[in-house]
Amino acid sequence: MSNKETFLKGTLILAAAALVARVLGLVQRVPLEHLLGSVGNASFTIANNAYLMLLTVATAGIPSTLSKMVSERYALDRPSEARRVYRAALIFAAAAGIIITALLYFGAPYFAEHVAGVPQSALAIQALAPALLLFPAIAMMRGYFQGRGNMTAGGISQIVEQVARVATAIVLAFIILKLGYGDREVAAGASFGGVMGSLGALAVMLYYTVKLRRQDRQDRQDQFQEESSALPMMRIYKDIFKLSIPIVLSSLTVPAVNFIDTSIVVRLLSGQVGLDQATTQLGYLGSRAQSVAGIPPILAIALSQSLIPIISAAFARKDEQHLQNQMTLALRISILTGMPIVLALCVTAYSINGLLFSSLGGSGIIAVLTLGTIFQITMMTSNSILIGMGKPRISMVNVMVGIVVKFAASWLLAGWLGIYGIIAATGLCFLVITLLNLRVLKGIVSFSIMGRRWAGFLTAVVVSGAIGYGVNEACILLVHLMPARVAFLIACCIAGAAVLVCYLLLLVVLRVLRRDELGNYPRMLQKVLRPLMRLQRESTGQRG
């Protein structure tokens, strides 16, 4: 019971922090989308995606590896080794930060012109580059604290990071625009917000580091073990990189896909729709669609981060029953909770676009990209299970297969479907990786996510999605009676609520969620579901 509660508590802390961070990120994109033109939005997107790609490379999967190694050593009562591993990771982070920052800064002009096809984005990339000096170390700190079971430190640092990033980006962009500068300089000012975000996140992690050290010093046995530890640094690095290299390729999936889109959209589409229209569609994809589509995977990200140390500890203890239960719980929760958010955002994409952004262009791009995130959710959760089970190489191979599918499908479908073909290739990439992961997992541990309940689940998805779409279309008619943004807000709220309510009711009525399994879910969800289970009892009684 305590293990399950710890897992759920850690997941909820990370999910709450990620949700706040994602909302703040969306809050940043809304005013920036109004302040920037098509070139500015494309430049900001290119800089952000290149930065995220290199950040993942700079950390080399070590935060996840660190979390795994630390949790295993504390499970085996070897805390001194855990701290020595942590110090080795920090040394690597410092070196990687310097190298990768120089690479991004000095390589920005070439990348902007010859790869992305938007030369004006070079300044925005260079403005964001200094953030890479600090973020590798911040990532290591977060990984260490997660391995120690402290999810709060990383969660608060994410929130502070986003607050500093958003405030700096908006204020700087506004000031630079008022001074009479163009899109190129405004995008650079917005990108510099990432540097201030890194400073805020580092300050939070340093505070929790000092606090944790004070607690550790009170444990005399812990101090004695640290003095007697003689784990060689070269052995630590060997173990770290043996695990982290496969992990980095698994962790690169989403940044790599976004990076690929940033690099190929203009080149693949300019021959069809013209350079200006291709640049505009890249802006829609980056500044609007990727922001909205980043919301559904929030819980999956939290599940992934909190799942690795728990799976690793279960492996270290050889607790197969606990391992099987956590796998089933994680996959089931990720699908059941991710799907209604995906549906709500898809059916209200037009209204969301009208509510948040300067025009209604790109509504279809938002809807289609968001729909594919359900496979991103399952991919991320299953990847983390494989990594926690000590199978990062398998996860790496599956991701590489998915990336190859993404490349090939983008080139094949872009000529037929345009920007929607590129987006469809993204969803196909995530789906292929998910199927490969599940095939491997079922060969290792026997488990079933929902068994024979898939028919009921799919029925709930289709019916609730159709109802939500109809409600949204009806509410949009209110634009003729009131200010458009007010009408779009009402449409988002009512249609989104209709999807969530119908989806939950159908899951209960169709027995996808069952009364005897309530104890496996978080207590808050149990309180919501328990009254609804009366519907299930009545329907069961009618069947006799």
Q: What is the 3-state secondary structure (H, E, C) of 100-167?
A: HHHHHHHHHHHHHHHHCCCHHHHHHHHHHHHHHHCHHHHHHHHHHHHHCCCHHHHHHHHHHHHHHHHH
CA angle 327, 23, 33 (to 5 degrees): 130
Among 391, 417, 449, give the residue marking a domain's end: 449
- 286-300 b/e (C-beta count within 10 Å ≥ 16 → b): bbbbbbbbbbbbbbb
Whole-angstrom CA distances from 38 to 126, 421, 512 are 19, 21, 45
In three state form, how does the secondary structure of 41-64 look?
HHHHHHHHHHHHHHHHHHHCCHHH
Residues 438 and 486 in one domain: no
Residues 470 and 401 in one domain: no
Identity of residue 378: T
Among 430, 449, 468, give the residue marking a domain's end: 449
Residues 476 and 424 in one domain: no
Query: What is the SS3 assignment for 372?
Result: coil
Residues 218 and 347 in one domain: yes
Helices and strands per DSSP (H, E), number in the chain: 24, 0
Residues 517 and 376 in one domain: no
In the prediction, which pLDDT does 150 show?
A: 80
In the prediction, which pLDDT does 4 show?
A: 47
Residues 426 and 522 in one domain: no
Report the domain count for the chain.
2
- Structural domain of 544: 452-544
Query: What is the SS3 assignment for 64?
Result: helix
152 CB-contact burial (10 Å; exposed 0-12 / middle 13-18 / buried 19+): middle
Query: What is the SS3 assignment for 495?
Result: helix
Distance, in Å, from the CA atom of 514 to the CA atom of 435, rounded to the nearest integer, reads 26
In the prediction, which pLDDT does 58 show?
A: 64
Torsion angle of alpha carbons 411, 413, 419, 425, nearest 10°?
-80
CA Rg value for the chain:
24
Residues 54 and 194 in one domain: yes
Distance, in Å, from the CA atom of 305 to the CA atom of 163, rounded to the nearest integer, reads 22
Residues 438 and 458 in one domain: no
Q: What residues have CB less than 8 Å from 361, skipping those under 6 apart? A: 280, 284, 353
Distance, in Å, from the CA atom of 110 to the CA atom of 133, rounded to the nearest integer, reads 21
Distance, in Å, from the CA atom of 350 to the CA atom of 331, rounded to the nearest integer, reads 30
Per the structure block, which two tokens stand in for 502? 């119908």
Per the structure block, which two tokens stand in for 537? 């009892």
Count CA atoms within 13 Å of residue 235 on its CB side.
Answer: 6
Residues 435 and 465 in one domain: no
Residues 246 and 389 in one domain: yes
Among 415, 449, 483, give the residue marking a domain's end: 449
Residues 401 and 481 in one domain: no
User: pLDDT tens digits, the chain, 544 residues: what are they?
Assistant: 444 445 556 556 666 776 777 677 767 777 887 788 878 888 888 888 787 777 766 665 677 778 878 887 887 777 888 888 888 889 988 998 899 899 889 999 988 888 777 888 899 999 989 998 998 899 889 888 888 878 788 888 888 988 898 899 999 999 998 898 888 899 899 899 989 999 999 999 999 998 888 877 766 544 444 444 566 778 888 877 777 777 777 767 888 888 888 788 888 888 888 888 888 888 888 778 888 888 888 766 665 556 666 666 666 666 677 777 777 777 887 888 889 999 999 999 999 998 888 788 889 999 999 999 999 998 988 887 887 777 878 888 999 999 999 999 999 998 888 899 999 999 999 999 999 998 998 887 777 787 788 889 999 999 999 999 999 999 999 988 888 889 999 999 999 999 999 998 998 888 888 777 676 665 666 677 777 777 775 544 444 3
Please report how the helices 135-147 and 151-178 are oriented relative to each other, as an axis angle in degrees rounded to 10. 160
Distance, in Å, from the CA atom of 195 to the CA atom of 199, rounded to the nearest integer, reads 7
* Short-list 374, 397, 395, 405, CA closest to 441: 395
Residues 392 and 507 in one domain: no
Count CA atoms within 13 Å of residue 501 on its CB side.
Answer: 9
DSSP letter assigned to residue 180: T
